[in-house]
Amino acid sequence: MQIPPYLKKGDTIGLLSTARKIDAQQLESTITMLEGWGLNVRLGASIGASEHQFAGDDALRAANFQQFIDDDSIQAILCARGGYGTMRMIDRVDFGKFRVQPKWICGFSDVTILHTHLNSALGIASIHSSMPSLFPADLNDHAVTESLRKALFGEELKYVYPVKGAHRTGAVKGIVAGGNLSLLYAAQGSISDLRTDGSILFIEDLDEYLYHIDRMMISLDRAGKLKNLRALIVGGMSNMKDHTIPFGRNAEEIIWELASKYDYPVCFDFPAGHIENNCAIRFGQEATLQITGKTVTFIQ
């Protein structure tokens, strides 16, 4: 796995959108924060562009991403928001130069397809993080944005929180991989399909029917993606939906039912995903995970 160069003061970070549209005005506070970190900021052509719900059409978003990954003067890319659209444009991108000169790509949710492609198809690490459209109001005084800064500048990431509900204890080291469950499910069978053997798998999701969660988890399991993990960490499973006739199990119970077949460590409520405390994780990089009967400790 290639680890892109960490940032230093004076480097440039590009802001673009591979999915839904966003206006430049919405990024003003983020730009101020990034400049406060000592970084220069470049806005892409997708910022302010619009085609229905998208940040410009597929060709524009792909061209913007292509320009930024090929530009030697840009050392990292932060996706401004998710939504839907990244899978529509990824096959238009030529990663030839990026393979040789990788840089950090940051984001989550719909950006998961970039993470799986970079991590599994290209063998390049990336950063699962919150994005400007969801940054907390107190940018410089919040664990979310501080964790992104640490991830970009190569500082230690350490998260310790109390165990709640179902879990399986243990201590492991492994490469972290994963992302949004719906996107992991959608990537199966494609060139961007995530390889999970030997990894610490992270999953999260938002606004899904419980039977969808069940179907996606069973699909991952049938594909062998849950069998050979080092550990499973589950982040926010937020705003789940149900029918008038209840499914009968919540998201945690659905996931635990499948994970309980195996013997690796498992934890829930990890501080990442579509939640307020969406802290950064470096995908494609080794982490140490310890789950006791009282606490979860994640160090990277």
What is the pLDDT at residue 148?
A: 98
Could you write out the DSSP letters of every residue in 109-142? GGGHHHHHIIIIII-B-EEE---GGG--SSGGGS
Query: What confidence tens digit (pLDDT) does each residue in 167-184 have?
Result: 999 999 999 999 999 999
Angstrom distance (rounded) from CA 267 to CA 239: 19
DSSP, collapsed to helix, strand or coil, labels residue 98 as helix
What is the percentage of the chain residues whose pLDDT exceeds 90? 97
**pLDDT of 164 over the 90 cut:** no
**pLDDT of 141 over the 80 cut:** no
Are the C-beta atoms of residues 147 and 279 closer than 8 Å to each other? yes
Query: What confidence tens digit (pLDDT) does each residue in 36-59 have?
Result: 999 999 999 999 999 999 999 999
What is the pLDDT at residue 112?
A: 98
The residue length of the chain stands at 300
Residues in contact with 215: Cβ distance below 8 Å, sequence separation at least 6, in sequence order = none
Angstrom distance (rounded) from CA 141 to CA 284: 27
Are the C-beta atoms of residues 136 and 30 closer than 8 Å to each other? no
What is the pLDDT at residue 188?
A: 98
Query: What confidence tens digit (pLDDT) does each residue in 183-236 have?
Result: 999 999 999 999 999 999 999 999 999 999 999 999 999 999 999 999 999 999
Q: What is the mean pLDDT of residues 141-164?
A: 96
Eight-state DSSP code of residue 174: E
The model's confidence at residue 69, banded by pLDDT at 50, 70 and 90, is very high
Q: Which candidate, 93, 77, 285, places its Cα nearest to that of 191?
A: 93
Q: Which candidate, 169, 186, 202, places its Cα nearest to that of 271?
A: 202
Residues 21-30 as b/e (b if ≥16 CB within 10 A, e otherwise) read bbeeeebeeb
What is the average pLDDT value for the chain, to the nearest integer?
Answer: 97
Give all domains of the chain, ordered by start, each with its CATH number. Answer: 12-153 (3.40.50.10740), 158-299 (3.50.30.60)
Q: Which candidate, 157, 162, 155, places its Cα nearest to that of 176?
A: 157
**pLDDT of 106 over the 80 cut:** yes
DSSP, collapsed to helix, strand or coil, labels residue 152 as helix
**pLDDT of 140 over the 80 cut:** no
What is the pLDDT at residue 137?
A: 84
